[in-house]
């Protein structure tokens, strides 16, 4: 594959200067290939190509954009298993998860954007006769993470293309193969030269060059809150739009007479999917004191039933994605032990049947208090915290005390009560009684979890500017 080149202005090109990044298989700890590492000169070339392509691409019709997205989506479906194999190899996703969720998420978001674009109207008229136009914002820098790589790329590339924007994509250097495959797909589908450009590199090497670039009109970033703050500061002097989807420390509240076994399974599914490496994953569970022992027992059983193994074996959990994250997660587990939380299952030792790789056992802590590090900081691994509460109001206060506000979960035997609790949570999303995500609904958070929204019509709006043309309507 084109790991040693960048896709700029409709062609695969060599970097301006030599430099590579080692990409490691987290299941084996072996280097699987060398990835080209961009410099600011490569950034300039990619941004220039996108800027030059904008005047033409921004004016193509909505029908042409719909047809283009449909062609892209058909190719994503055709190459699903190839994309899944790449994701599994690079970031350790179990192959079943990669084929049934990771890779198909790209097509899911393109399909949703096709339906949004079919209904989209770029202009309207006020009662006073003013035309209001919605126009593409311009040239965009898209920066994506390694945990759900194609998903996060698709939630940016699809609406940017739909809006009429041009772009430079910098995927995570940890898991870039799916981005390379997408570049091949966009080329085959006939995306005009310069509309989509792909470069690789670390945040340290090209992050500031890309996000501060004078010809970039918008930055869309998904990743850590720390990096999101740095990107906002870098972009501020040029007053470009910045959309951020950042960290989370999502809490779930169990309230009322619920089915303990069913709720426990949903809790484990919501926290352990993708080895806990999801920004919106459930990480804190608040349970009433009189229900705590029963819920705790059921969760332990569900956690201990999970398999941890090599990705090709289709386990419940593969490795965490990289060495730095592995060290961080083990550090949090030790912190939980040192702070006095009860280790109910799991722990920091390697699963006994595995000899190497970044594997972490599904880990459950009980008797966690709000002041503990594991209750406050984003772990981003297969670690779940159980906390007791006496009154519902206290549980809501604890859930809201986090600096994050991405997602939340409520389990309740009464629907109206569940909605009432959801209304009080300061988060961008709330799941009621195990309800799943919806690609047509807005995805994003409050507070330190970011700003702006992705997915569906809400995601498309992020890439549009509004223009008022006073007196534009005919008399």
Enzyme catalytic residues: 245
Answer for the pair 305, 361: CB distance below 8 angstroms, yes or no.
Answer: no
* DSSP annotation of 317: B
Return the beta strands (E) in 158-249 as ranges: 166-170, 196-198, 218-222, 241-245
User: Going edge to edge, which strands form the sheet with 363-366?
Assistant: 342-345, 363-366, 383-389, 282-288, 250-255, 408-412, 431-432
CB atoms within 10 A of CB 230: 16
**Torsion angles phi and psi, residue 432, rounded to 5:** -100, 125
Q: How far apart are CA 361 and CA 275, in angstroms?
A: 9
Radius of gyration of the chain (CA): 23
The encoded tokens of residue 367 equal: 């008797």
- Cα(172)–Cα(378) distance, rounded to whole angstroms? 19
Residues near 226 by beta carbon (within 8 Å), at least 6 away in sequence: none
Question: CB–CB of 362/300 below 8 Å?
Answer: no
- Token duo for residue 177: 């193969």
For 340, the 3-state DSSP assignment is coil
């Amino acid at each position: 594959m084109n790991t040693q080149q960048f896709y700029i202005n409709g062609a695969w090109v060599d970097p301006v200067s030599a430099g590579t990044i080692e990409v490691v298989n987290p299941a084996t700890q072996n280097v699987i290939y060398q990835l080209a590492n961009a410099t600011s000169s490569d950034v300039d070339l990619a941004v220039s190509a996108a800027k030059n392509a904008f005047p033409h691409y921004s004016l193509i019709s909505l029908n042409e954009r719909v047809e283009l997205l449909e062609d892209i989506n058909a190719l994503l479906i055709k190459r699903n298993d190839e994309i899944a194999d790449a994701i599994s190899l690079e970031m350790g996703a179990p192959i079943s998860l990669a084929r049934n969720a990771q890779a198909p998420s790209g097509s899911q978001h393109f399909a949703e954007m096709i339906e949004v674009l079919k209904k989209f109207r770029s202009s309207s008229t006020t009662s006073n006769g003013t035309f209001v136009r919605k126009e593409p914002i311009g040239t965009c820098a898209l920066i994506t993470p390694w945990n759900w790589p194609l998903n996060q790329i698709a939630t940016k590339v699809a609406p940017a293309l739909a809006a009429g924007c041009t772009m430079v994509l910098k995927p995570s250097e940890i898991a870039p193969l799916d981005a390379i495959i997408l570049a091949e797909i966009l080329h085959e589908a006939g995306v005009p030269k310069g509309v989509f450009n792909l470069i690789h590199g670390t945040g340290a090497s090209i992050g500031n060059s890309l996000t501060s670039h004078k010809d970039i009109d918008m930055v869309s970033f998904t990743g850590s809150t720390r990096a999101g703050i740095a990107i906002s500061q870098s972009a501020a002097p040029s007053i470009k739009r910045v959309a951020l989807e950042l960290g989370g420390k999502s809490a779930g509240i169990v309230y009322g007479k619920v089915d303990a076994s069913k709720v426990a399974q949903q809790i484990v599914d919501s926290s352990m999917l993708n080895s806990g490496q999801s920004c919106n994953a459930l990480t804190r569970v608040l349970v009433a004191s009189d229900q705590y022992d029963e819920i705790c027992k059921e969760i332990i059983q569900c956690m201990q039933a999970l398999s941890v193994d090599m990705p090709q074996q289709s386990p419940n959990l593969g490795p965490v994605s990289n060495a730095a994250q592995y060290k961080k997660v083990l550090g949090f587990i030790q912190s939980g032990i040192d702070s006095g939380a009860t280790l109910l299952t799991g722990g920091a030792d390697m699963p006994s049947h595995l000899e190497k790789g970044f594997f972490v056992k599904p880990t459950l802590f009980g008797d966690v208090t709000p002041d503990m590090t594991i209750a406050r900081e984003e772990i981003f691994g297969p670690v779940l915290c159980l906390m007791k509460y006496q009154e519902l109001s206290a549980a809501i206060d604890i859930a809201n005390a986090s600096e994050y506000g991405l997602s939340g979960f409520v389990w309740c035997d009464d629907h109206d009560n569940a909605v009432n609790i959801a209304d009080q949570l300061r988060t961008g999303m709330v799941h009621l009684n195990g309800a799943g995500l919806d690609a047509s609904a807005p995805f994003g958070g409050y507070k330190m979890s970011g700003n702006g929204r992705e997915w569906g019509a809400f995601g498309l709006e992020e890439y549009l500017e509004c223009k008022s043309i006073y007196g534009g309507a005919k008399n």
